[in-house]
Amino acid sequence: MKGLTRELMCLRAANELKEGMYVNLGTGLPSQVKDFVEEEIIFQSENGALGYAPTIWDEELMDYELIDASAVPVGMKPGVSFFDVSTSFVMLRGGYIDVAIVGAFQVSERGDLANYKEKKDVLSTPGGIMDICSGVKRVIVLMEHVTREGKIKIVNECSLPVTAKGVVSTIITDLAYIDVTQEGLLLKEIVPGLSLEEVQTVTEPKLIVSKSLQEFML
Amino acid sequence: MINKFKNSPEEAIADIPDGSTIGVGGFSYAGSPLTLVKALAVRKVKNLTIVGMTPTSYGALIESGSIQKLISPYPSWGLKARHLNPLEELWRRGELEVEIIPMGSLAERLRAAGAGLGPFYCPVGIGTEMERGKEKRVFNNKEYLLEFPMPLDYAFVKGHKGDRFGNVCCRLTTKNYNPVMAMAAKITIVEVDEMVEPGGIDPEATHIPGIFVNRVVLTQEKPKVDWWLKQVVKTKGRRVDEGAD
């Protein structure tokens, strides 16, 4: 099944962001979304930065004391501010952040998020994601539709430990754009060349197809 | 004359007994007090409870077998780095107790301890395994968990500049847990890149006022950033550490 490249996934997620929004990005793929925006969007990183500039790729310019929450070196730009974790989580828990874009191992039909523990005997931990989900206005999941082994990630019920209950409002994958609604999962966009049946076979809950279903908005 | 400067990290940590609870600042390598951590690891102190974000900060104390219990939001951070591997092995063998705590809840528990507050209700972790053993209460139709303050015997803090009064300023994203740990501890020990005269820190940029600080030493230990830089470049910044992808 031919899906979007990781760059195009980031671009699709970036299209959800509007000028002036305050946005927190999770580790992994979501952290790259900041490199795909042109408008003035203020990114917040839970380790204590607001309004930082995109990733630094030049090894000479990398500073280990200027990083985002993925420990990736980022840049400075006018208007950036730095603070401690107490202030940072006031922003996150207190409802000041408009959007969080996070990764996931599983998302359920009701918007439960599981994104910190793949296996029981592996030391894998939530970091700040539980705090982020408790206060951010809108949580968008950005992930591959299935695992590398082809296992389904959008499920009826999460079998992995849940990070936060009923918090996900939108799922963006390499194959589809899906809104979590009271009635169920609403399929709104699909990758060109893919049939509805093909998307349904890799999605456990029955998808509701939007009347305005369209190809990915890129 | 007030003088919180100590001549060496060894002198600054000399009185720390076995079984102490120590907060270690830092997030990844940023703001990690590696000099103090290393000095304590060399002293072979036993049965410590360590409170801290990432093993990149307190790794030397894992290698030295000094930790009995780890309280951390992200103990799996950076375990692909060879020097941090023992943590997961010790945990699997049951030789190291690990308590997972959400990142913001830890910040607020430290702050509460420092600020003289009692327990507080926090919504983080509702509906997850973090609920276990915690009192749950509903206010205005929203569920909360009762969280307790987390006082520390000692805090290890990393600053950029420090003066003899204990005033500290921090560079860029190195503040992270450092200010709240300094508040939560009975004894706060800070390592700085530069010792300055009083007045050498802009009073408007004093991130940790000296009242929270007991001892100040000079940083000697530089982080092993080579591994980190390689990971950033190799994974195009995508997967520097463990975490959902």
Task: Please state the domain count of chain A.
Answer: 1
Checking if the pLDDT of B104 tops 70, the result is yes
pLDDT band at B245 (very low <50, low <70, confident <90, very high): very low
Q: Is B197 on the interface with A (CB under 8 A)?
A: no
Contacts of A147 in chain B (CB under 8 A): none
ipTM value, please give it: 0.92
What's the mean pLDDT in B116-124?
97
Determine the residue of chain B that is closest to A84 in CA distance: B176
What's the mean pLDDT in A135-141?
97
Domain of A84?
Answer: 6-215
Q: Are B42 and B51 in contact (CB under 8 A)?
A: no
Domain presence at residue A210: yes
What's the mean pLDDT in A103-122?
87
- Check CB contact under 8 Å for B244 and A26: yes
- pLDDT given for residue B242 in this prediction: 38
Domain presence at residue A184: yes
Interface of B with A in 144-173 (CB under 8 A): 170-173
Measured in angstroms, the CA of B74 and the nearest CA of chain A are apart by 5
Nearest alpha carbon to residue A131 among A91, A159, A187, A182 = A91
Between chain A and chain B, the number of residue pairs with CB atoms below 8 A apart is 188
Helix crossing, A85-93 with B103-114: angle to 10°? 120
- Considering only CB atoms, A115 lies closest to which of B125, B130, B244, namely B244
- Percent of chain B with pLDDT strictly greater than 70: 91
Interval B179-210: pLDDT, tens: 999 999 999 999 999 999 999 999 999 999 99
- Check CB contact under 8 Å for B173 and A82: yes
Domain presence at residue A32: yes
Length of chain A measured in residues: 218
Nearest alpha carbon to residue A68 among A47, A42, A94, A89 = A47
pLDDT band at A54 (very low <50, low <70, confident <90, very high): confident
Contacts of A62 in chain B (CB under 8 A): 229, 232
Checking if the pLDDT of B227 tops 80, the result is no
Interface of B with A in 26-45 (CB under 8 A): 27-31
Q: Give the mutation candidate from A25, A62, A67 for the B interface (greatest B CB count, under 10 A).
A: A67
Contacts of B111 in chain A (CB under 8 A): 86
Q: How far is it, in rounded angstroms, from Cα A90 to Cα B170?
A: 20
- pLDDT given for residue A70 in this prediction: 85
Q: Could you tell me the sign of the dihedral formed by the alpha carbons of B26, B116, B14, B40, in that order?
A: negative
Q: How far is it, in rounded angstroms, from Cα B102 to Cα B84?
A: 21
What's the mean pLDDT in A186-205?
96
- Considering only CB atoms, A83 lies closest to which of B74, B175, B232, namely B175
Checking if the pLDDT of A120 tops 70, the result is no
Interval A2-25: pLDDT, tens: 899 999 999 999 999 999 999 999
Q: In this structure, what DSSP letter does residue A69 have?
A: T
Domain presence at residue A1: no
- How many angstroms separate the Cα of A57 from the Cα of each of A5, A181, B230? 20, 39, 11
- Check CB contact under 8 Å for A86 and B98: no
Please give the mean pLDDT across all residues of chain A. Answer: 93
Q: Are A112 and A165 in contact (CB under 8 A)?
A: yes
Determine the residue of chain B that is closest to A69 in CA distance: B27
Contacts of A65 in chain B (CB under 8 A): 29-31, 171-174
CATH number at residue A181: 3.40.1080.10
Q: In this structure, what DSSP letter does residue A73 have?
A: B
Helix crossing, B34-42 with B55-63: angle to 10°? 10
Q: Are A205 and A156 in contact (CB under 8 A)?
A: yes
With DSSP H G I counted as helix, E B as strand and the rest as coil, what are the percentages for chain B, rounded to 5? 30, 25, 40
- Check CB contact under 8 Å for A127 and B243: yes
Q: How many CA atoms lie within 13 A of A102 on its CB side?
A: 32
Catalytic residue among A38, A39, A46, A118: A46
- pLDDT given for residue B75 in this prediction: 86
- The distance in angstroms from the start CA to the end CA of chain B is 54
Q: Give the mutation candidate from B32, B103, B105, B178 for the A interface (greatest A CB count, under 10 A).
A: B103
For A218, other C-beta atoms within 10 Å of its C-beta total 12
What's the mean pLDDT in B16-28?
97
SS3 state at B27: strand
Q: Is B116 on the interface with A (CB under 8 A)?
A: no
Q: What is the pTM of this model?
A: 0.93
Secondary structure E strands in chain B: 21-24, 48-52, 67-72, 97-100, 120-122, 136-139, 142-147, 152-163, 168-169, 185-196, 215-218
- How many angstroms separate the Cα of B132 from the Cα of each of B97, B101, B127? 16, 12, 10
Q: Are A210 and A6 in contact (CB under 8 A)?
A: no
**A19 is an active site residue:** no
**H/E segment holding residue A171:** strand A168-172
Burial of A122 (0-12, 13-18, 19+ CB in 10 A): middle
- Check CB contact under 8 Å for B107 and A88: yes
- pLDDT given for residue B243 in this prediction: 34
- pLDDT given for residue B244 in this prediction: 32
